[in-house]
Amino acid sequence: MNYKHKLPPKLDRRYIVTGGSGLVGGFIVLQLLARGNPPESIRIVDIRRSERNDMRDGPASEVEFVQTDITSPASVAAAFSRPWKPPLVHLPLTVFHTAAVILASDRSKYQYHFPELVNVTGTKNVLEAARNAGADIFSSTSSGSISIRPVDPWVAPWADSAKNFWQTLDEKDFSQPLRAQRDFFGNYPLSKAVAERKILPEPMGDIRHLKPGIFSITTHLVASDAEARKPVSEGGLGYIGVVTTLEGMALEVLEWNEEHVADAKTRKAYTTSISLADQIKKLAPSSATVGHAINSVK
């Protein structure tokens, strides 16, 4: 299945992709290359190199990688200020910010500092560096999980299901006051909601809040991409998916089997968002140094 012919045309721009070694950021890099952008026009800013096989050879392997701690303003500034090759210096700059730490199971308010440091402070640092670098397009990846409310585990004997077991994911949250921490299912969506509001407190002038498509992450959540399908003039993306959900799932299964066709003993073990976060925490002896915490897996 090949959907490259459905991609938009190449633009003569420079691109910085934070979290470009991970899932979402990695696909952004691959699609930019598929559109015809040369590797030297793209820069990956991340805490580690990619473990993805599809980025270890071909044009993707030629993309510049700059190891960066987004919780450190100095580290981010250094990554963004690195010189570009002469033919590219004067091209306009787009920044895709996808770096984040995902710990979906952390719910206690006493554990909020870690995702706040990476997802909120880190986003602030990246946004500031993008402005200083002269970027005229800044695209930050949020999360459809922001709208998910915690499920009440206490179910009355006569009830059909738990409260909030069935939910609809939509974009209404952004236009409403920030909910209390207890009204999010975890610290991750809270940190993403706070970061959203720091990036775009209120659309003014020649700027819009472009609402992305949302995809369901569990069987009891129904996603609505109605806002994303609106035209840009109305705050949407004019979104039309290049593949259906069924086609996308089939591609995932196909790619997984192709990658694991070899003997199980040689099967590749990937770093998950949780195991990476645990590794980062072990490297940080105190909250002062816990900032070495970029996880670009989405």
What string of pLDDT tens digits covers the 298 residues of the chain? 677 788 889 999 999 999 999 999 999 999 999 999 999 999 999 999 998 888 998 999 999 999 999 999 999 999 999 999 999 999 999 999 999 998 878 888 889 999 999 999 999 999 999 999 999 999 998 887 888 888 877 888 888 887 877 777 777 777 788 899 888 888 999 999 999 888 877 556 665 555 444 443 454 566 677 777 888 888 777 877 777 777 878 888 888 787 777 656 666 667 777 777 877 766 655 444 444 444 444 4
64-67: strand order across its sheet: 64-67, 42-46, 14-18, 93-97, 137-140
Residues linked to residue 97 through DSSP beta bridges, in sequence order: 18, 140
Residue type, 29: V
State pTM to two decimals: 0.75
66 three-state secondary structure: strand
Place of tokens 């003993």: 265
Domain residue extents for the chain: 13-283
Q: What is the DSSP string of 222-233?
A: EE--TTTTS-GG
Distances, alpha carbon 194 to alpha carbons 68, 111, 148, 262, in Å: 22, 16, 15, 44
Could you say which of 3.40.309.10, 3.40.50.720, 3.30.70.120, 3.40.50.300 is the CATH number of the domain covering 13-283?
A: 3.40.50.720
Strands (E) located in 180-225: 221-223
* CA dist., res. 258 & res. 184, Å (int): 38
Interatomic CA distance for residues 55 and 53, integer angstroms:
5
| Coil, strand or helix at 221 | strand
Q: Please, are residues 254 and 261 in contact by the beta-carbon 8 Å criterion?
A: no
For 127, residues 6+ apart whose C-beta sits below 8 A from its C-beta are 97, 138, 140, 198, 199
Of 168, 186, 201, 69, the C-alpha closest to 125 is 69
Q: Which two tokens stand for residue 167?
A: 């939910």
- Render the burial of 74-84: b for 16+ CB within 10 Å, e for the rest: ebbeebbeeee
Task: Report the pLDDT value the prediction gives residue 246, as an integer from 0 to 100.
Answer: 78
